[in-house]
Amino acid sequence: MTGFALGVDQEEWCGQLRALAVQRLRPLAEKGEPGRVNRPLLAALGELGLLERVFTSGALELCLLRESLAYGCTEAETALALQGLGAYPVLRAGSEEQRERWLPQVRAGRAVAAFALSEPGAGSDAAALALAATPDPDGGAGGGGWRLSGEKCWISNAPEADFYTVFARTGEGPGAKGVSAFLVPADRPGLSGAPLDMLSPHPIGSLAFDGVPVGPGDLLGEPGRGFRVAMDTLNLFRPSVGAFAVGMARAALDATLAYTADRPAFGGTLSDLQAVAHRVAEMATRTEAARLLVYAAAGAYDRGAGDVPRRAAMAKLLATETAQYVVDHAVQLHGAVALQRGHLLEHLYREVRAPRIYEGASEVQRTIIAKELYGAVAPR
Instruction: Name the active-site residue from 33, 97, 359, 363.
Output: 359
Looking at the DSSP assignment, which residues form a beta bridge with residue 219? Answer: 182
From the number of C-beta atoms within 10 Å of its C-beta (0-12, 13-18, 19+), residue 277 rates as: middle
Residue ranges in the chain assigned as alpha helix (H): 8-20, 26-31, 39-47, 50-56, 59-72, 74-93, 96-107, 226-262, 274-303, 308-334, 344-351, 362-375
User: Half-sphere exposure (CA, 13 Å, Cβ side) for 281?
Assistant: 8
Whether 119 is a known active-site residue: answer no
Q: What are phi and psi of 9, to 5 degrees?
A: -60, -40
Cα–Cα distance, 308 to 313 (Å, whole number): 8
Residues 6+ apart with CB under 8 A from 188: 141, 212, 213, 214
Residues 6+ apart with CB under 8 A from 81: 54, 66, 237, 240, 241, 244
Q: How many CB atoms lie within 10 A of CB 276?
A: 18
- As annotated, the active-site residues are 359
